[in-house]
Structure 1
Amino acid sequence: MTIAPGKRRYQDVAEDLRRAIAEGGYRVGDRLWTERQIAADMDVSRSIVREAVIMLEIEGLVAVRKGSGIYLARLPDVGGGRTQADIGPFELLQARQILESSIAAFAATMVTKGDILRMREALDMERRAIERNDDDYSGDELFHRLIAESSQNGVLVDMLDELWRKRKRSPMWARLHERIFDSGYRTRWLDDHQTILAALQCRNPAQARDAMWRHLENVRHTLLELSDVDDPQFDGYLFHTDPVAVGTG
């Protein structure tokens, strides 16, 4: 698949899906292809397909049913408008992974005792929110920001803040989280944070970089797994119809 200049990969996948729906004679309510089929037919990653489907879901073109699949909610408008470009959640995570792993490595050379104490307090905030089953991620965000602050570099802090602002403003990120009901992942992420903190406390740049990289990789895998509408653990086994191949690869 050729990516048009200035467009993101998931936008191209979404456009191919619109075209396939328009040309495929589908009716409202029809079940469409699984994400695995789309990824295989278009030779792209599942995360890009997930972003494309979320985009079409926000447009109201498809409806996603957990454990059941993707359904056509309305027919596409030929030549109609498109949702304003957003940043896909997995694209955003990739940017964070690249930036924050480097920040963590540098912070390990600059961190102070006061920084470590503040990070411990942030993890306590995160732990209390998990124990209360509170949908409060402020401790999580604060921990990541404190790492950037401990680098003593204001530009790095500004760059991190901008990524978090993009996440908070992103309708695609919000829609992804709407599909997730199992909150057990938060404890695993807290364990990751403790590993990062230990590396910083040892002032070990390589361990800090690796720990942050693994943490955000774990976040990516967790979000893919928990938002998987084709997950056979749900009621997908009730639907045995074999959807027609996408045919837009």
Structure 2
Amino acid sequence: MSEALRPLSRPRLYEQVVASLRQFVQDHGMRAGDRLPPERDLAEKLGVSRTSVRQAIVALEVQGLVEVRHGGGTYLLRDRLDAEPLEAMAARRELLPDVLDARDALETKIAALAAVRRTEEDLAAIEAALAAMAEAVDRGELGKAEDARFHAAVTAAAHSALLARFMTEISGSIAESRGESLRQPGRPAQSLGQHRAVAEAVRAGDPEAAAAAMHHHVEAVGQVKLLEWQAAAEAEQE
């Protein structure tokens, strides 16, 4: 049989709702901070159940595209609803716990070593990374590049070639976990405060405190809506 005649996969209904919402936002020139219509109105206009609309909103919330204020509606966090495919979300959700385990094991040790081995040059690099992230947070940005710069500076301060190589090998997965975390509302400023705690312990030459501060930070990185999300079963059309 021709490959062109393989059974077709039917998109989940709430994925179609996401596509409709993306087009609605674009057509109406909506921007970050604008409020979407209520779920009841969306369900009526689209001819679907409120469950399908709610599943679509949850998927957008998990990706940091909207904020749901209980009793206050749903608001855009970005100017566009460029949602990723469900399969990609599910794959990231499956991998993320392992990435966090690896980060905890590697980065807590790296922080402890940095507290013992750091030089004045290392401390200057860490302080510069903190200052850059503070500026990014003040501008209202996520600060992903600045976040990466801080962790790279701490890794360099540990002066462990093998641990640095391990970090490089999983850098792509770390970048995904970083982006996932920083998309959470209020997280960039929270991460900056946690970075400062790590830096303070490193500066003080206290390996136990540095490891504890980094462990606390990685635990916070893992507090993301993606890990609470379950790929919902397809809702039936009414």
Q: Which residue of 1 aligns with 2:219?
A: 217
Q: Aligned equivalents of 1:146 and 1:95: distance in 2?
A: 18
- Which one has a bigger Cα radius of gyration? 2
The equivalent of 1:138 in structure 2 is 145
For 2:202, the equivalent position in structure 1 comes to: 200
Paired-residue identity, %? 22
Show the counterpart of 1:119: 126
Cα distance in structure 1, aligned partners of 2:196 and 2:179: 29
Cα 1:174–1:210 shift into 2, 3 Å = closer
- How far the C-alpha of 1:108 sits from its partner, in A, is 1.1
Counterpart Cα distance in 1 of 2:192 and 2:108: 17
| Equivalent residue, structure 1, for 2:19 | none
Corresponding residue for residue 66 of structure 1? 58
Aligned to 1:129: 136
| Counterpart-to-counterpart distance in 2, 1:67 and 1:190 | 27
Aligned to 1:186: 188
Q: 1:90 aligns with which of 87, 97, 120?
A: 97
Query: How far is the alpha carbon of 1:165 from its aligned partner?
Result: 2.2
Unaligned segments of structure 1, at least 5 residues: 1-26, 32-62, 71-81, 231-242, 244-249
Deviations 1:41-85 (A, max 9, x none): xxxxxxxxxxxxxxxxxxxxxx75328999xxxxxxxxxxx98x7
Aligned pair partner of 1:152 in 159, 162, 168: 159
Q: 1:89 Cα shift?
A: 2.1
What secondary structure sits across from 1:65 in the alignment? helix
Higher relative contact order (CA 8 A, sep 6+): 1
- CA 1:69–1:124 in 2, change beyond 3 Å: closer, same or farther? closer
- Residues 188-239 of structure 1: CA deviation (Å, up to 9, x unaligned): 1100000000100111111011000001101112x13x87569xxxxxxxxx
8 Å contact kept, 1:89–1:167: no
- Structure 1 residue identity aligned to 2:154: I
Contact (CA 8 Å) 1:66, 1:228: kept in 2 or not? no
Report the Cα distance in structure 1 between the residues aligned to 2:116 and 2:170, rounded to whole angstroms. Answer: 23
TM-score, normalised by the number of residues in structure 2: 0.55
Contact 1:115–1:146 at 8 Å: present in 2 too? yes
Structure 2: unaligned runs, 5 residues or longer: 1-10, 16-54, 63-86
